[in-house]
A = this chain, B = another copy of it.
Amino acid sequence: MAKQSVVKMKKPCCDDTGPCRLPADRSAEQMAALAWAIAHPARVRIVRLLISRNTCVCGEIVDEMPLAQSTVSQHLKILKESGLVQGEVDGPKVCYCINPEKLAMLKALVASL
């Protein structure tokens, strides 16, 4: 997905001809953004890993993944940007953990489909 794709609006969202569709669109964007975070097998595995070990891990993730360290770091960045994952420096290492609120939000949004 284009994270900040500029969607050209041929129809205004809030006009005189119909009901305001903005809330639905915001929800759709929110949902799409969270879905996008787990729209890659590597990121699904990372999320599962972080959930299974409530003890936040860091470079162990790299060891679990068949990807280069830099690539894993990129995926972690995407997960952080989505809010699903939080990182906190702990000495020379960085501990990652799940953001339970965002995870709950993702679950709720999908469940409400």
> Which A residues lie at the B interface, using CB under 8 A?
1, 7-11, 24-25, 27-29, 31-32, 35-36, 38-45, 47-48, 51, 66-67, 103, 106-107, 110-111, 113
How many copies the complex holds: the figure is 2
Q: Is the CB of A48 within 8 A of B24?
A: yes
CA distance A67 to B7 in the complex (A): 8
- Kindly list chain B residues whose C-beta atoms are within 8 Å of the C-beta of A106: 110, 113
- Kindly list chain B residues whose C-beta atoms are within 8 Å of the C-beta of A39: 1, 32, 35-36, 39
How far in angstroms is the closest Cβ of chain B from A101? Answer: 14
Q: Is the CB of A10 within 8 A of B110?
A: no
CA distance A43 to B35 in the complex (A): 11
CA distance A47 to B67 in the complex (A): 33
22 A-B residue pairs with Cβ-Cβ distance under 8 Å, sorted by A, are A1-B1, A1-B40, A7-B66, A7-B67, A10-B66, A11-B66, A24-B48, A27-B44, A28-B41, A28-B42, A28-B44, A28-B45, A29-B41, A32-B38, A32-B41, A35-B36, A35-B44, A36-B36, A36-B39, A36-B40, A106-B110, A111-B111
